[in-house]
Amino acid sequence: MAFIRRMRIIDQNEASRPMDTCLKIAFATDDVKTVNQHFGSARSFAVYAVNQDHCELVEVAEFGKLAQDGNEDKLVAKITLLDGCAAVYCEAIGASAIRQLVAYGIQPVKVYRGSSIAELIDDFQNELRSGPSAWVAKALARQAAPDPDKFGRLEAEGWEE
């Protein structure tokens, strides 16, 4: 299964981007306003870059109409699309898809059908501000740049035997 359409939004003014430290969050949606799709049969996903104060739509990808038939081949293209995302919000998801997403470091989040994407983003931003849950903290740690001075500091501390 391949994408039917994929739209990436590129900001031409990189200097003014407040999104350098953000997490990408995907939503299974067919209207880019509400979460209204089952992960496995989702026809489209909207991907947002989110930090504590800002959010922006960065990509929308559409697939063909898919059945909830247990055929796991259709999951590969979706998980590939979500590479780099911290989470995917959907109305339902199967156990196999959950295992595969978690193996890629993507947290599946099940929400009620019709949940507002704007409200979910607002809730996520509030969580970032007030202290992230375990999975959000892990996603933030994965995103953090490696510390080039880590071994120098360890060497300076010395070793005791």
H, E, C per residue of the chain: CCCCEEEECCCCCHHHCCCCCCEEEEEECCCCCEECCECCCCCEEEEEEECCCCEEEEEEEECCCCCCCCCCHHHHHHHHHCCCEEEEEECECCHHHHHHHHHCCCEEEECCCCEEHHHHHHHHHHHHHHCCCHHHHHHHHHHCCCCCCHHHHHHHHCCCC
| Per-residue confidence band for 6, with pLDDT thresholds at 50, 70 and 90 | low
Q: Which pLDDT does position 10 carry in this prediction?
A: 65
Least confident interval from 43-57, 87-101, 108-122, 134-148: 134-148
Least confident interval from 76-85, 94-103, 113-122, 150-159: 150-159
Digit-coded pLDDT (tens) for 21-38: 789 999 999 999 999 999
| Per-residue confidence band for 155, with pLDDT thresholds at 50, 70 and 90 | confident
| Per-residue confidence band for 16, with pLDDT thresholds at 50, 70 and 90 | very low
Q: Which pLDDT does position 145 carry in this prediction?
A: 63
Q: Where are the domains of the chain?
A: 5-157
| In the predicted structure, residue 123 carries a pLDDT above the cut 60 | yes
pTM of the model: 0.79
CATH number belonging to domain 5-157: 3.30.420.130
Digit-coded pLDDT (tens) for 47-93: 999 999 999 999 999 987 655 555 556 788 899 999 999 999 999 99
- Compute the mean pLDDT over every residue in the chain, rounded to the nearest whole number: 83
